Amino acid sequence: MRLLIKNGRVIDPGSKQDEVMDLLIEDGKIVKKKLSIEDNLKELVTIDATGCFVMPGFIDLHVHLREPGFEQKETIASGASAAARGGFTTICAMPNTKPVIDNADKVRFVLNKAAQVAPVNVCQVGAITVSQLGEKLADIEGMAKAGAIAISEDGKSVMNVKLYEEAMKLAKKCEIPVMAHCEDKNLVGAGVLNKGEKATQLQVEGISNLVEDVIIARDIMIAKETNAKLHLCHCSTKDSVTLVEEAKKKGIQVTAEVCPHHFALTEDDIINGDTNYKMNPPLRTKEDVKALKLGLKNDIMDVIATDHAPHHESEKAKSLKEAPFGIVGLETAVGLTITELVDKGYLTPMQMAEKLSYNPAKIIGLDKGTLEIGKVADVVIINPDMEYTVDVKDFASMGKNTPFAGMKLKGQVMATIVNGKVVYQYTK
């Protein structure tokens, strides 16, 4: 198949190229960026990208696909379809399914299933401990050999420091990163929202910044000791930015992600009793949000990831105390990034491509995240000026749990291309 993307603003963080040009794709690879009169343009599928960003396909390091075990929330197929609609060409599935992805066979199950049903690339993250119980290391080397691109205990922290140190040593040996959910379970208690005015007002227990910051500091020190690659998931506090900045100055191999909900909302935005605002880490203060935005702007924080966490409607219909943590994010990430960061001057379009594609690819060792000639044609086309209202009825995800329903955003994904094949195209 030959595909021509015409007249788009090609933004390639791999070559630092940012200019209006055509992009020619053949047999799943990018073959030309600038066409000449001698080029044979017959038998082409053509997409007119006038006025649009053309970027390397986005890579989400932090997604919950729920399969196996929680297919009432999401499946590999539905989550991957949501990814395609959101401009993501590669997604990394977290291991907290049922059963937990803690050995090579389970890794292979997800990868094989994804190869059959997913329109995008699906990578699997393996658990750090067996059944995520924090007692015995999972088969980290076996999972890495089976294709796991990282290990994580996402949803909780490994509180046993000695065990965690051994895990980091094995991750270093396997040349894969450790993705850390930073939460001290001894401090979090029965927390529901950020420890602040909103939690007091709603009479629920709060989750302090210390819950996150103390584990970030601990994990950075273990990474320093083991020389492992540490990736900090869903950072939400102002001090997380400071800690990452200081670690990088010391040459420690640490990277960090920020989720769109953590840079787009504060605890002040929470509507009384609406469990779609309940997530972990919780929505923080304006001061925290400002620090996260500046951390992204100043390239301290490396990645934008969604922490896409679908839940069934009946679960989120429970009380604020009883409902599960988590919101969906694959289909709103682009709009939130453009609306809250690009349009407001925090990120350039090039930085957006870096944080959603180029940097994630480097962290997990994928030869993606660029539009250089000869590379696999994973591409996203975005109209940055198109406005739309978030409507959960349009979501491909089975999860509709989002606080952004009804919000007006800018930045419509017009097409998502995986391996040279159009897997999503906007049709309204």
Please give the C-alpha separations between residue 139 and each of 111, 142, 223, 243, 352, in angstroms, as whole numbers.
17, 5, 20, 30, 35
Active-site hit among 307, 343, 385, 394: 307
Element of type H or E holding 2: strand 2-12
Answer yes or no: is 325 a known binding residue. yes
**19 and 10 Cβ atoms separated by less than 8 Å:** yes
The reply, when asked if residue 48 is annotated as ligand binding, is: no
Q: Residue 246 gets which letter from DSSP?
A: H
The answer on whether 231 is annotated among ligand-binding residues is: no
Q: Is residue 9 a known part of a binding site? A: no
Is 85 known to sit in a ligand binding site?
A: no
312 is in an annotated binding site: no
Distances (CA, A) of 47 to 38, 42, 301: 20, 14, 34
Is 307 assigned a catalytic role? Answer: yes
End-to-end CA distance of the chain: 25
Phi (first) and psi of residue 385, to 5 degrees? -100, -10
Please indicate if the annotation marks 62 as binding a ligand: yes
Cα(157)–Cα(182) distance, integer angstroms: 6
Task: Please give the angle made by the CA atoms of 354, 53 and 328, to the nearest 5 degrees.
Answer: 65
* Distance from C-alpha of 312 to C-alpha of 178, rounded to nearest angstrom: 29
Q: Is 39 annotated to bind ligand? A: no
β-strand partners of 18: 11
Nearest to 131 by CA among 149, 110, 112, 155: 155
Place of tokens 């219909």: 317
Q: Say if residue 206 carries a ligand binding annotation.
A: no
Residue 185 neighbours by CB distance under 10 Å: 12
Q: Is 284 annotated as a binding residue?
A: no
The answer to whether 420 is annotated as binding is: no
Pairs from 76-79 (Cβ < 8 Å, separation ≥ 24): 76/110, 76/113, 76/114, 76/117, 76/118, 76/122, 77/117, 77/118, 78/396, 78/397, 78/398, 79/308, 79/310, 79/330, 79/397
Cα-trace Rg, the chain: 21
Tokens of 291: 């620090």
Positions at the binding site for Zn(2+): 62, 64, 154, 181, 234, 307
Positions annotated as catalytic residues are 307
Positions at the binding site for substrate: 64-66, 96, 280, 311, 325-326
Positions at the binding site: 62, 64-66, 96, 154, 181, 234, 280, 307, 311, 325-326
